Structure 1
Amino acid sequence: MSTNLAKYEKVMNYIKKAISSGEWPIGSKIPSQRKLAELLSVNRSTIVTALEELKIEGLIEGVMGKGTMVVNNTWTLLAASPPSWDESAPFSAPKPLPAPVLETDGVKAPEHFIELSKGELAQDIFPTDNMQQVMMRLAQSLEPFGYEEPKGYLPLRKAISDYMRKQGTDITPASILIVSGAIQGLQLISAGLLHKGSTVFLEKPSYLYSLHTFQSAGMNLSGLPMDEEGLRADALLKKAMAGPASVLYTIPCFHNPTGILMSEARRKELLDVCAEKRLPVIEDDIYRELWIDSPPPPTLQSLDVNGHVLYIGSFSKTLTPGLRIGWIAGSEQVIERLAEIKKQTDYGSSSLSQLVAAEWISSGLYEQHLSFVRKELKKRRTAALHALDEHMSDLAEWDIPAGGFLIWLRMKEGIQLKDIYSKAYRAGLSLNVGSIYTGESVQAIRLSYGYASIEEFEQGIRKLRQIILEDN
């Protein structure tokens, strides 16, 4: 028995290697059972067993009149041959984030801070009345909580499936995993699919440089340049050709920290490169619904025909970060793998939070809330741009974001930001310096106009100007 098992596993590994190397690309027909049996010196029954297992894993598929075809070669392949827990060490202690100079130098913290750093919506945008109504409705029919199934509360997954279908992504509830926010989604991907020493391609600057999720799992970050349309596809192609590739991580909608919205043309260019180089993609789309001027282009996942894209969504930026509910959407085989890893770590996201999220989406309240959020963000963006024009136009440059709540403030030549964080702290101003998004020194600041009031934002920009002028 063990000998037979080893034989069909040998056949499976041979086929997986041929697929991952590109020798057998997506859409190609694999050799017949007889040829494979002769090539690998095994019985046809062993070949049949191996092929059936590979079909279950989603790598190959029998097509009427054509034979057995390769149908996947990225995430499904990674899920079929996952890293060991020892190798990936996914939850080792992360590198510490750059710490502010708080009271370590003897400076007393100001009583009040103007928050220009928080990547979340203001408390007065939080839908208190509607949330109370939702909680009251749920309380009337509340039953004892138990552990949800590994993929998450089914009515919530159905609601998200319907919601994503409206966005143009045809995804079934079975292909959705509920997670405790987007960060846990990234942790599960690094733990369950990627191998130590892998390279993660990403925009530079990027949120991941401040998060350190993948570095903590033993992976390397490789930054790529952006332009006004988003991550440059030519740079990705050049980098992918230069060395071993692993995965592309991208924030195509209202990118953190730059606020850039990736164009539809650029999205298609990136997918073409990823198809050519068999590069799986993590699409972090948590800002998508925060559009202000017009809806963003279709998701990468909806444009993808090769199964290369894993999609991450969340309610943290649109509803409330305290709900701690996000999701991953991908092929069912990959979601099964990630659900198994999640089950081993936390037995499932909060049942109450999942009930609340399901009620918000299915009742239509979520879309109503998003309409209100967009109007509020438009007011705040207008005021933020006015404040910057009045107080920073001679010191910095910036782009007008089409959505989200972030502005990447780039200092003009000759303007330095030495010790800007600690100086701002002493002045009662909280902001994020650009270096935490690049891994190196950069003369830029990430500003958020989503949290501070309009009046406070203007006060904060005036303070920032004064601080910069003191050293320049």
Structure 2
Amino acid sequence: MYIDWKPDRSSNQSLHQQIVDWMQQHIIRGDWPVGTRLPSQRILADTFDVNRSTIISAIDELIADGLLETKAGSGTFVSNNTWNVLISTKRLDWKNYVQSGIHEPNLTTIQDINHYETDPHMIRLGTGELSPSLLPTHLIEATFHTTSFKTLSLGYSEPKGDKRLRQYICDYLQTKGITTSISSIMIVSGGLQALQLIAVGLLQKGSMILHESPSYINSVHPFQSAGMHLVGLPNQGQERIPEQIKRIHKKQKASLFYTIPTFNNPTNTTWTHEERLELLSICQQEQIPIIEDDVYSDLWFDQEPPRSLKSLDTEGLVLYIGSMSKTLSPGLRIGWINGPVTVIDRLADIKMQTDYGSSALSQHLVAEWLASGQYAQHVAWLRHKLRERRDFTLSLLNQHFKGIAEWDVPQGGFYIWLKLNKPIVNRYLFQQAIKENILINPGFIYEPQNNSHLRVSYSYASKEQLAYGIETLAKIIQK
């Protein structure tokens, strides 16, 4: 339960009474159905910016009125007594609908992360997006001022997206060794929508999805909510991933393999050229399609990464996902899928049933940046800035985490996969960090039972925030 209301301190009504009235309205209106659990008294006091005694007084009054009840060791809940049931007579039970929805809810920790990321006072040590200081806001504004809108249609775009943008994406992919045509490209609203379209458009309920573990798709639910069965393959161990794929596929047919082979999220590992060829060979033998999520590959620091799986694919096996969210702006919501025409036609049809196409303005802007060379210039500048941030973050880790954790030096991307010497990464550590206004991304949101890792991002927090956050987090862990 997230609350974005505060009592009005300029009101003639007491803070206590405002809180009582506000809570009462939510219960009587049915916003908080019977059985709804309230946040703790401490959280309510912090949220409303009042003393805890004010919260206790308000809750006691609502308990006396029969609207709330406490359960020892469990907290405070909307009451199920006769008076409250009478109030709720003939009111729809939305709680039942919410619990019956087919889309899987996020993990509680993911919901908390999504909530706290909107708090400007929170130091976001794990956030997987660019800092506002790294976004080319003024240049984007200048593009809209100087570009001609004669070629821009503000109506719905065609099912696969703006034709001009798709042509420039073809040219851009050619620089990566991927030869394709505009009919094989579809514009999507970010990489996550691409995964959702694939899940509902190409797969049957109960399909087995293989992926390297830990994995980003454990922290979102595009396949799980479509009724798919996910199987994680450890990317470290005696048995290599291609061998695991072959062994598992013999027992039960896999529907596809999902991977971020370049600057993986969250581990930042990168597959070698030989590993990519071996993966393609196995998947070709077993006829297992591959989803290559390639949203970080432009962000290399000292040496370009190996060629993408798609550029090595001669059998039409790979569905290739790209995005501008990690390089240009997440708010533009522009990404793409490249694959066989029959597949792209199918996915485009489903996209038109859901949103009638991505933003015309965003598509126009990205096309302008690709056509003018501004995108290439921006990415070169961005790589330099991210390298500086990586080096600064590594210096902080060497200063504060030596002896309590291990890590590899990233060669690109956003992340450092921090492995603590003791498995103490749990919900309690997450909550203790929140108390210090530090938001972390724990390993268990990417891999169940992973209590040893943290995803540390150097792409978002400022240097001052990184310095304070990493030092404070080290102190929390050492306690």
Give how far 1:230 is off. 12
* Equivalent of 1:344 in 327, 348, 353: 353
The residue number in structure 2 matching 1:310 is: 319
Q: How many residues of Structure 1 are paired with residues of Structure 2 in the alignment?
A: 376
- 2:186–2:336: 8 Å Cα contact kept in structure 1? yes
Provide the identity percentage: 44
The residue number in structure 2 matching 1:98 is: 108
The residue number in structure 2 matching 1:323 is: 332
**One-letter code aligned to 1:266:** E
- 1:283–1:310: 8 Å Cα contact kept in structure 2? yes
Deviations 1:181-227 (A, max 9, x none): 11110011011101110011001100000101100000011000113
Deviates more, 1:248-257 or 1:417-426: 417-426
- 2:419–2:452: 8 Å Cα contact kept in structure 1? yes
The residue number in structure 1 matching 2:185 is: 176
Q: 1:231 to 1:327 in 2, by over 3 A?
A: farther
Q: 1:212 to 1:100 in 2, by over 3 A?
A: closer
- 1:395–1:415: 8 Å Cα contact kept in structure 2? no
Q: 1:229 to 1:446 in 2, by over 3 A?
A: farther
Give how far 1:232 is off. 2.5
Separation (CA, whole Å) in 2 of partners of 1:376 and 1:431: 22
Deviations 1:55-80 (A, max 9, x none): xxxxxxxxxxxxxxxxxxxxxxxxxx
The residue number in structure 2 matching 1:215 is: 224
Q: 1:253 to 1:231 in 2, by over 3 A?
A: farther
Q: 1:229 to 1:303 in 2, by over 3 A?
A: farther
The residue number in structure 1 matching 2:132 is: 123
Secondary structure at the aligned position of 2:298 is classed as helix
The residue number in structure 2 matching 1:438 is: 447
Give how far 1:415 is off. 5.4
Separation (CA, whole Å) in 1 of partners of 2:157 and 2:132: 30
RMSD: 2.3
Q: 1:102 to 1:349 in 2, by over 3 A?
A: closer
Q: Structure 2 unaligned runs (5+)?
A: 1-100
Deviations 1:273-312 (A, max 9, x none): 1011110000000111111121111110110111110000
**One-letter code aligned to 1:301:** K
* Equivalent of 2:166 in 148, 151, 157: 157
**One-letter code aligned to 2:122:** F
The residue number in structure 2 matching 1:278 is: 287
Separation (CA, whole Å) in 2 of partners of 1:226 and 1:143: 45
Separation (CA, whole Å) in 2 of partners of 1:96 and 1:467: 26
Q: TM-score, normalised by structure 1?
A: 0.76
Give how far 1:236 is off. 2.1
Give how far 1:425 is off. 0.3
Give how far 1:268 is off. 0.5
- 1:110–1:428: 8 Å Cα contact kept in structure 2? no
Q: Structure 1 unaligned runs (5+)?
A: 1-90
Separation (CA, whole Å) in 1 of partners of 2:143 and 2:238: 39
Structural mapping, 1:406-445, within 5 Å: 406-413=415-422, 417=426, 419-445=428-454
Q: 1:170 to 1:224 in 2, by over 3 A?
A: same
* Equivalent of 1:295 in 304, 309, 317: 304
- 1:203–1:231: 8 Å Cα contact kept in structure 2? no
